[in-house]
Amino acid sequence: MIASLLLIAAPAAMVQGKAVAAKSYSSCAALQKDFPKGVAYSAITAGTTGAKVNAAVYNANYKKLDNGDDGVICEKKKK
């Protein structure tokens, strides 16, 4: 019973006990297909942007996609 509970609670980013590398995106258009409002490093940097907090994806892509150097990549600009 406990073993089955542990399997259910296992993180989705784990495959056979190993962490899966975050996906690298070539452009904001590509990233926004998976994260329409962008990706933030933390809840603090996300603020009110609506960006999904995912530090692993942020770290894999910020050098080429974080033009504002604000901790959020490919966020939708408010009109």
The answer to whether the beta carbons of residues 69 and 57 sit under 8 Å apart is: no
In-domain check, residue 8: no
Say what the pLDDT of residue 40 is.
95
Q: Look up residue 70 and give its two tokens.
A: 């604000």
Say what the pLDDT of residue 37 is.
95
In-domain check, residue 2: no
Say what the pLDDT of residue 9 is.
40
In-domain check, residue 5: no
What are the residue ranges in the chain where pLDDT is below 70? Answer: 1-20, 78-79
Model-level pTM? 0.71
Say what the pLDDT of residue 79 is.
65
Say what the pLDDT of residue 67 is.
86
Say what the pLDDT of residue 60 is.
96
In-domain check, residue 10: no
In-domain check, residue 4: no
Range of the domain at 70: 22-79
In-domain check, residue 14: no
In-domain check, residue 75: yes
In-domain check, residue 16: no
